[in-house]
Structure 1
Amino acid sequence: MKLTLLRLVTTALIVGTLAACSSTPPPSPSRPAVLSPALPPGAVSIPGDNGPLPPAMAQPKSRWIPVRWAELPGFANDALHEAWNAWIKSCERPAPQFVQLCGEVRQLSIATPEEQRAWMVARLQPYRVESAEGNPEGLLTAYYEPLIDAARHPGNGYTVPVYRLPAGHGARKPWYTRQQIDTLPEAQAALQGRAIAWLRDPVESMVLHIQGSGRLRVAEPDGSVTLVRVAYAGTNDQPYQSVGRWLLDQGATRDATWPGIRAWLAQNPQRTNELLWANPRYVFFREETLDGMEAGFGPKGAQGVALTPGRSIAVDRQSIPYGTPVWLASSGPQVQLSRLVLAQDTGSAILGAVRADYFTGWGQEAGDIAGRLKQGLRLWVLWPR
């Protein structure tokens, strides 16, 4: 009965006249309404997408150009139900423009892909994201949660601490650099008793700091093993410096991916600290339990909701607001992607109009993809009509 009603509502949405969303940002005054641009070569018109297009819209770091749904690569083929969980997560803390749609989003979680697609066409308008200069091309990278063996106490090879925020954090800004934390007695005194767990490998620790969260298989004192998440809690307020960029500047390697960095370290183990200290930023963590449904989602992103593997991205919030559904298209040697994702996170290196960091999940396979993914990108925001 509920699904039948939902189908009737979806059909009504398609054939009815839709009211414009009252909270839609004002149109750019310099651009008139667009009537009907030509579709891309080979594109097939989408049923229900035949009305006049609205004006372009301006954001602080980007401009949004209205387009037909047919411009979105692969729109007719995406497994939308995989993205719906991410969308429902965004509805836990929705952007103001999406509050009125969230009830329908939740109902559509049991709908067919065809019904979900029809609802999107009826309720949302796609806009191509471009730079202020009109460039629609950008960069896609990826991030993940490393899965690392750890122990509650140092010893037996576990020598690298994962720290909570230090005592008096915030009283001194910036705090000690990574090198000072490793070497100065006063920095170590402030961190005394603040270790959540201990790792074996300083490079794994650096990866954890760069990703901003991770999962630890912790060997407990009683011999049991506990799976926990260590989530981002804060930094030492020092600038982030890429260790891959440092290696390139040194002329030490041409492969600045994590596999390339590890290969260089295997040949130059005596320079490990030199490499790690090239990045002065240090990240502090908090421990979170991982059980039940929590284990099937990633950490909370900047929007404040849990990330969904393959369906959450980090963006520059001055280009795309948190909670916005986004169509992502990227083709390259690592992955071919054309899919619905949600803008739910950000990062210090995620800057620019057409820029996204793609959350791949956790563990070795996710890390292999994230460690090498760096390729071209196009984005379309899906905004309420």
Structure 2
Amino acid sequence: MSPTKTQPGAWWRRAACRLPAALALLCLQACTQGPQPNIPLDTLPGWHEDTVHEALPALRRSCARWSTMPPDAALGGPPGPGRQVADWAPACQAIAALEDPVEPRALRRLLATHLQALDQGTGTLTGYFEPVLRGSTAPSPRHTTPLHALPPDPGPHPSRAAIEAGALRNRGLELVWVDDAVDAFFLHIQGSGRVVLADGTVLRLGYAGQNGLPYFAIGRLLIQRGEIDRAAMSMQAIQAWLRQASPAAAAEVMQANPSYIFFRPLEGLAAHEGPLGSFGVPLTPQRSVAVDVEHVPQGAPVFMAGVENMPPRLLVAQDTGGAIRGPARADLFWGWGDEAGARAGGLNQPARIFVLVPRQPAPRSLRMVQPLPRE
């Protein structure tokens, strides 16, 4: 994914989720109140319940990324410590000194020593994932839907309907052809994915750009037409409707969303690694989260609590999204494949969000140490 992308993970990010009035009020309060005073980590609700060591690979990736940045590079987030790279050097040095296997209590003590929490309030947690599609490097009667590279000329580029009618044909922009137009549509919404070729090769694709036209949530159209009840709306419900509709009817609904995403091949990613988030590191399933960098520093730990049927969890802010806005808005990366998609598609819950920041700014001369790349 790209730091400039405006088309992040889950479909509801731009679908203007229709929250109940009470939940919408909670979100509004979280946005207007701003972060609350600093809190010791060991007093956070559920802090001692989480298996925090499972977030260590993601924390190490943040430290590794910070180590490549200037000490005074801005990371976003609320006023105070944590807005610049150098502020994180003491915590990263301590993480680099940890020896595997890491004992959870030792990691909790380390984090509590170097970090404190800001209560961002209660907002909304959704989920996204990396789809797995089937494709071919050449078109065939089975593989008819192309995924395109970003055109070299400056946008705006043609609409989805125009592109699907052939507006980009014969320009050499096709990266791969896939066998399912509905899967391709939702790949555009997620922003990255895997395409399995006939010989078993897996092509990893990431976000490269967008055609410059606004996103329209087709779920809204299906509700307006009475095709799906508002209470039953979900990613899975939309997919089911598109698959049972005629190809022409499905295409007409999908083309109601003029936004179109362009992709780029992602090189050097291992099969067990997620796609690149906007922070420039591979996402860790169930531990990486997309946030609003106006309120959360890029790469910072985030603690989540109060989600129904989900234990409290230490997360790491390593991605962003066009509709992820506000201090308590988060989008959890679940992984890849059908199971991850089912879990991501069913997640839309109130959540209490805490951002973890350094206790005090670090001297700008302090060198960032890169932890060893251990998994």
- Partner SS for 2:311: strand
What does residue range 165-204 of structure 1 map to in structure 2 within 5 Å?
165-168=150-153, 170=154, 172=155, 174-183=156-165, 185=166, 187-189=167-169, 192-204=171-183
Per-residue deviation, 1:153: 0.8
Per-residue deviation, 1:72: 2.0
- Counterpart Cα distance in 2 of 1:217 and 1:209: 17
- Partner SS for 2:228: coil
Q: Which of 318, 336, 340 is the aligned partner of 2:294? A: 318
**What TM-score comes out, normalization by structure 1 length?**
0.75
Specify which structure has the bigger relative contact order, considering alpha-carbon pairs within 8 angstroms and separated by 6 or more residues: 2
Change (3 A) 1:364 1:82: same
CA deviation map 1:255-278 (0-9, x unaligned): 321211122224422411121112
Q: Which of 309, 313, 338 is the aligned partner of 2:285? A: 309
- Counterpart Cα distance in 2 of 1:361 and 1:236: 27
Contact 2:91/2:111 (CA < 8 Å) preserved in 1?
no
- Counterpart Cα distance in 1 of 2:135 and 2:224: 33
Aligned AA for 2:146?
Answer: P
Per-residue deviation, 1:158: 0.6
- Partner SS for 1:188: coil
Change (3 A) 1:107 1:248: farther
Q: Which of 102, 118, 129 is the aligned partner of 2:92? A: 102
CA deviation map 1:1-21 (0-9, x unaligned): xxxxxxxxxxxxxxxxxxxxx
Aligned AA for 2:142?
Answer: G
- Partner SS for 1:155: coil
* Alignment match, 1:249: 224
Spell out structure 1 runs of 4+ moving beyond 4 A.
none
What does residue range 1-385 of structure 1 map to in structure 2 within 5 Å?
62-94=34-66, 95=75, 96=85, 97-108=87-98, 110=100, 111-129=102-120, 136-168=121-153, 170=154, 172=155, 174-183=156-165, 185=166, 187-189=167-169, 192-219=171-198, 224-254=199-229, 255-269=232-246, 270-289=248-267, 294-332=270-308, 335-385=309-359
Contact 1:140/1:330 (CA < 8 Å) preserved in 2?
no
- Counterpart Cα distance in 2 of 1:149 and 1:192: 23
Change (3 A) 1:252 1:71: farther
Larger Rg: 1
Per-residue deviation, 1:61: 9.0
Per-residue deviation, 1:115: 0.8
- Counterpart Cα distance in 1 of 2:107 and 2:216: 43
Per-residue deviation, 1:289: 3.8
CA deviation map 1:149-198 (0-9, x unaligned): 11111113110001111242x2x3x2211111112x5x224x62211111
- Counterpart Cα distance in 2 of 1:240 and 1:337: 33
- Counterpart Cα distance in 2 of 1:109 and 1:175: 51
- Partner SS for 1:319: coil
**What TM-score comes out, normalization by structure 2 length?**
0.77
Contact 2:40/2:112 (CA < 8 Å) preserved in 1?
no
Contact 1:330/1:375 (CA < 8 Å) preserved in 2?
no
Per-residue deviation, 1:243: 1.7
- Counterpart Cα distance in 2 of 1:289 and 1:68: 41
Per-residue deviation, 1:83: 0.3
Per-residue deviation, 1:121: 1.4
Contact 2:94/2:110 (CA < 8 Å) preserved in 1?
no
Q: How many correspondences in the alignment?
A: 308
- Counterpart Cα distance in 2 of 1:231 and 1:157: 23
CA deviation map 1:329-355 (0-9, x unaligned): 2423xx413111001110111112210
